Amino acid sequence: MKKIAKRFFAGLALVVLAGSLGPGIPAHAAKSKDAAAVLELLEVKGKAPKTGYERSAFSDGWGEIGSCTVRNYILKRDLKQLTYRGNCVVDTGVLVDPYSKKVINFKYGVGTSLAVQIDHVVALSDAWQKGAQKLSAKQRESFYNDPLNLLAVDGPTNSSKGDSDAASWLPPNKSYRCAYVARQVAVKAKYRLWVSSAEKIAIKNVLSNCPKQRLPAS
């Protein structure tokens, strides 16, 4: 299993890197700055029309390596006490949800899998209205499957977020808010998406409580 995971992440890293060479702030530049500094590099604009947005504009589903989906590797990364079906499908595990602090016992299956959802930290609709519609199809697919933008979280809490940005939704778990907005900044920098003025103010307000907050590793 470890060898399979290593091969997957190595391959996925190349895909994501290839997809971000055009639009993003170079990784070495972003890593050398804290979240507040990188926030200042983002363009500030209003939302573009949502015209033409469909989830399928990003991807028709999770990317695959062999028979394994990105979803299963995010579950493997974020959950503990894992068991598997076959080589890679996560059957059971325990999630300490970063958004709510709930402890969730995950079980694969109809009616149970949705207890844990994979959140696009920068929502697809928000990305579409803030620059993603200008990305190529390959870049949008990389965005959809990029582990930097993916977290395993509590299903109902994720549903309450919807397609909100930081100006209209933050995790109920206040201790995670700094890490949450830092991840949004990292994703928007990588794909050269912009922020609205209200969104930037909201992120700055959160980061004022953690001035040394670093961007997450890509």
Mean pLDDT, residues 43-47:
96
Please say whether the beta carbons of 85 and 91 come within 8 A: yes
Q: What is the pLDDT of residues 204-213, one digit of tens each?
A: 999 999 999 9
pLDDT band at 67 (very low <50, low <70, confident <90, very high): confident
Number of residues written out for the chain: 218
Q: Determine which helix (DSSP H) or strand (DSSP E) holds 65, and give its type and residue range.
A: strand 64-65
CA distance 58 to 74: 18
Average pLDDT in the 44-63 region?
94
d(CA 147, CA 210): 24
Q: Is residue 26 a contact partner of residue 190, using CB atoms and an 8 Å limit?
A: no
Q: pLDDT-derived band of residue 22, with 50, 70 and 90 as boundaries?
A: very low
**pTM of the predicted model as reported, rounded to 2 decimal places:** 0.86
Q: How far apart are CA 179 and CA 200, in angstroms?
A: 15
Judged against a pLDDT cut of 50, whether residue 17 lies above it is answered with no
Within 13 A of 194's CA, how many CA atoms are on the CB side?
Answer: 14
